[in-house]
């Protein structure tokens, strides 16, 4: 996967510095900095990759080569096929826990593996999910180390100077401390997501990498001094660090009795496909809940406690993102148009160059949408939605089940993808017919030219023969050399 080029420096070094900070700037810097007792901690990130029929065989071979499968699930090549045999999906399989190189494995019974991990990641718990018989998801639950887990808190406490930010078209925008912190936090989260996505793509590439789409993610963050998305902030605190973290105003929030203390924030329009689970530290790291999952009230215990609840959340979200990406990919071929003055045959030939990729993606889309259509109504479009217990509240105060609302979205997206896939097949068939017609016309043209050439050659040959037959016969007289005479009969 190609990562975008790094962003330019936020502060333009060639622009003259602003004068000394005013009282306004000092208030902004003070409000955007958390109090000493506050601690913003980023604990976990869940990232997913999807595998459709065209990726399934490579996934099984890759897991075998990397040694990520647990010993008791040997033989490894049969793991993925057996996981996909269920008629409705919903099965899951735990893989090895990956730890940094050089970490003592101890008595792990073959369930841990030491290998190179992305920078800042202290461990990765892997799990395979069968969403439908044709769709498998790999969930990577990444635990951040202490340094990178505190990166958001460090940004909020950094004394950024005011300056000019480069804008589109060479423009510059004046930026204060609060805006700079907000940009830095957003970029930091994206950068760390790209680290994991790049690592995942390098080892086990799948459908999101194939489609060139961002991998869906779920972040788990806590605050020590307040309850994110619940505690109201000072309405006059324009530069509050809570607002910078987007922990105050969100249009859709969800809560689940199975994940007490955590609130789910769904991404706003035009935001990256990232879910956020946030809560107050004392509520999230409650020994009554975490003590049953390893007896630890730390990030490792939190990940064990969340288990399939977090997996099902990010897998369901990734399924919606995948359907949307597949529809966009199919629509891009549908929206192709001939260039100015381009003949139909040349346009058809240009489209035919993409036929192998289009057919492969179309077959994947057809298989996935077929699975969704065949699901019994009592189960729903994908079984994994049954693991979701979140109740979402919209800006009007209406409460809906996240599982039910996402089931409607999956059905609607699958119908749109099916329609796009059918339209693509028709367009490809038409383009192939046009291309074949063009080739037939070119073949007929050259056959006509060859026939004319042969006819001209035959006519020329016949004409030459007629000319030779019509020419008069010539008598050839042989002259004897002088002095030569015929001997007389008597001289013989």
Q: Looking at residue 88, what is its pLDDT?
A: 81
User: pLDDT tier at 3 (50, 70, 90 boundaries)?
Assistant: very low
Model confidence at 84: pLDDT above 90: no
Q: Which of 134, 208, 139 is nearest to 375 (CA)?
A: 134
* pLDDT-based confidence at residue 316 (cuts at 50, 70, 90): very high
Beta strand spans in 145-242 (E): 163-166, 172-175, 217-223
Please write the tens of the pLDDT for every residue from 15-43.
555 556 666 778 888 889 999 999 999 99
The 10s digit of each residue's pLDDT in 264-305 is: 999 887 788 899 999 999 999 988 888 776 667 788 889 989
Going by C-alpha positions, the residue among 205, 196, 274 that lies closest to residue 49 is 205
pLDDT, tens digit, for every residue of 117-134? 999 999 999 999 999 999
350, pLDDT greater than 80: no
- Supply the pLDDT for residue 1: 39
* pLDDT > 90 in the chain, percent: 41
E strand or H helix that includes residue 187: helix 177-203
Query: Is pLDDT at 263 greater than 50 in this prediction?
Result: yes
**Could you say which DSSP state residue 256 is in?**
-
**Among 221, 217, 238, which residue's Cα sits nearest to residue 47?**
217
- Residue 168: per-residue pLDDT: 67
Q: Is the pLDDT of residue 135 over 90?
A: yes
Angle 355-374/299-334 helices, nearest 10 degrees? 120
What's the CA gap between 135 and 144, in Å, rounded?
28
Output the pLDDT for position 377: 86
Of 360, 307, 327, 321, residue with least CA distance to 208: 321
Burial per residue of 105-114, b for 16 or more beta-carbon CB atoms within 10 angstroms, e otherwise: eeeeeeebbe
Q: State the Rg of the chain over Cα.
A: 37
The reported pLDDT for the residue numbered 97 is: 92
Check whether 320 has a pLDDT greater than 80.
yes
Give 39's contacts (C-beta < 8 A, 6+ positions apart). 150, 153, 223, 224, 225, 281
Convert the pLDDT of each residue in 444-482 to its tens digit: 666 676 777 777 777 777 777 677 777 665 555 555 555
Question: Could you tell me whether strands 172-175 and 399-401 are parallel, antiparallel, or unpaired per DSSP bridges?
Answer: unpaired
- Residue 287 confidence (pLDDT): 86
Q: Could you tell me what percent of the chain has a pLDDT over 70?
A: 75
């Amino acid at each position: 996967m190609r990562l975008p080029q790094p962003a330019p420096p936020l502060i333009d070094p060639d622009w003259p510095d602003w004068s000394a900070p005013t009282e306004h700037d000092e208030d902004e810097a003070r409000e955007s900095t958390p109090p000493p007792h506050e601690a913003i901690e980023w604990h976990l990130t869940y990232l997913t990759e999807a595998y459709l029929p065209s990726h399934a065989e490579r996934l099984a071979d890759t897991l075998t080569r990397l040694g990520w499968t647990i010993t008791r699930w040997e033989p490894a090549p049969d793991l993925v096929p057996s996981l996909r045999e269920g008629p409705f999906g919903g099965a899951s399989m735990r893989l090895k826990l990956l730890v940094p190189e050089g970490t003592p494995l101890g008595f792990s019974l073959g369930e841990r593996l030491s290998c190179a991990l992305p920078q800042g990641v202290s461990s990765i718990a892997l799990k395979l999910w069968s969403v439908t018989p044709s769709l498998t998801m790999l969930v990577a639950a990444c635990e951040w180390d202490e340094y990178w887990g505190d990166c958001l808190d460090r940004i909020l406490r950094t004394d950024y100077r005011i300056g000019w930010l480069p804008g589109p078209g060479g423009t510059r925008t004046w930026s204060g401390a609060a805006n700079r912190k907000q940009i830095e936090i957003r970029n930091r989260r994206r950068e760390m997501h790209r680290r994991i996505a790049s690592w995942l793509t390098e080892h086990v590439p799948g459908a999101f990498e194939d489609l060139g789409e961002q991998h869906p993610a779920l972040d788990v963050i806590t605050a020590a001094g307040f309850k994110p998305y619940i505690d109201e902030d000072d309405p006059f605190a324009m530069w509050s660090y809570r607002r910078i973290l987007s922990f105050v105003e969100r249009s859709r929030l969800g809560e689940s009795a199975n994940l007490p203390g955590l609130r789910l924030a769904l991404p706003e329009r035009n935001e990256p496909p990232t879910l956020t689970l946030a809560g107050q530290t004392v509520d999230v790291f409650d020994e009554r809940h975490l003590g049953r999952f390893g007896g630890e009230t730390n990030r490792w215990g939190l990940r064990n406690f969340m288990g399939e609840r977090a997996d099902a959340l990010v897998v369901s979200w990734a399924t919606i993102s995948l359907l949307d990406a597949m529809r966009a990919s199919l629509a891009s071929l549908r929206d192709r148009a001939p260039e100015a003055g381009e003949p139909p045959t040349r346009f058809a030939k240009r489209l035919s160059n993409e036929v192998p990729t289009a057919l492969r993606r179309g077959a994947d889309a057809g298989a996935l949408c077929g699975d969704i259509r065949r699901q019994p109504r009592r189960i729903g479009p994908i079984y994994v939605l049954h693991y979701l217990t979140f109740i979402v509240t919209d800006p009007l105060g209406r409460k809906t089940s996240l599982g039910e609302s996402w089931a409607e979205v999956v059905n609607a997206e699958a119908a749109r993808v099916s329609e796009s896939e059918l339209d693509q097949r028709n367009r490809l068939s038409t383009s192939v017919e046009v291309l074949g017609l063009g080739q037939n016309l070119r073949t007929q043209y050259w056959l006509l030219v060859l026939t004319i050439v042969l006819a001209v050659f035959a006519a020329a040959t016949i004409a030459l023969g007629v000319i030779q037959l019509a020419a008069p016969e010539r008598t050839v007289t042989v002259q004897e050399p002088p002095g030569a005479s015929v001997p007389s009969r008597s001289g013989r």
